[in-house]
Amino acid sequence: MLYRVIDALEEVAGETGKTVPQVAINWLLQRPTVSSVIIGARNEGQLRQNLGAVGWTLSEAQIATLDAASHVLPPYPHTPYRQQEGFARLAPAFI
């Protein structure tokens, strides 16, 4: 799943002309379930780059792309085990 998210972030970064970290931070800021985003920077350049994540918005299509790439089912018991990704690998005869 991690590569799907990174691929989606790179795709949206190419569309917006922003960097991957800027897109990721902006996307998190627009999620209704995220109350705050803590950005870490080792130097002033990284801080300035991260601050470039504000002042613009992703389109609904771009948000949908990122949401789809990061979607996972909740773990058991919230999602029946047979619907989870690992079940197909462990018990393919039952699918």
Q: Three-class SS of residue 24? A: helix
Residue 88 pLDDT greater than 60, yes or no: no
**Banded model confidence at residue 83, pLDDT cuts 50, 70, 90:** low
Cα(57)–Cα(5) distance, rounded to whole angstroms?
18
Task: Please write the tens of the pLDDT for every residue from 13-67.
Answer: 999 999 999 999 999 999 988 889 998 899 999 999 999 999 999 999 999 999 9
The number of distinct structural domains making up the chain is 1
Average pLDDT over the chain reads 83
Pair of tokens at residue 10: 């790179």
pTM: predicted TM-score of the whole model, two decimal places: 0.74
Residue 93 pLDDT greater than 60, yes or no: no
Domain that holds residue 17: 2-93
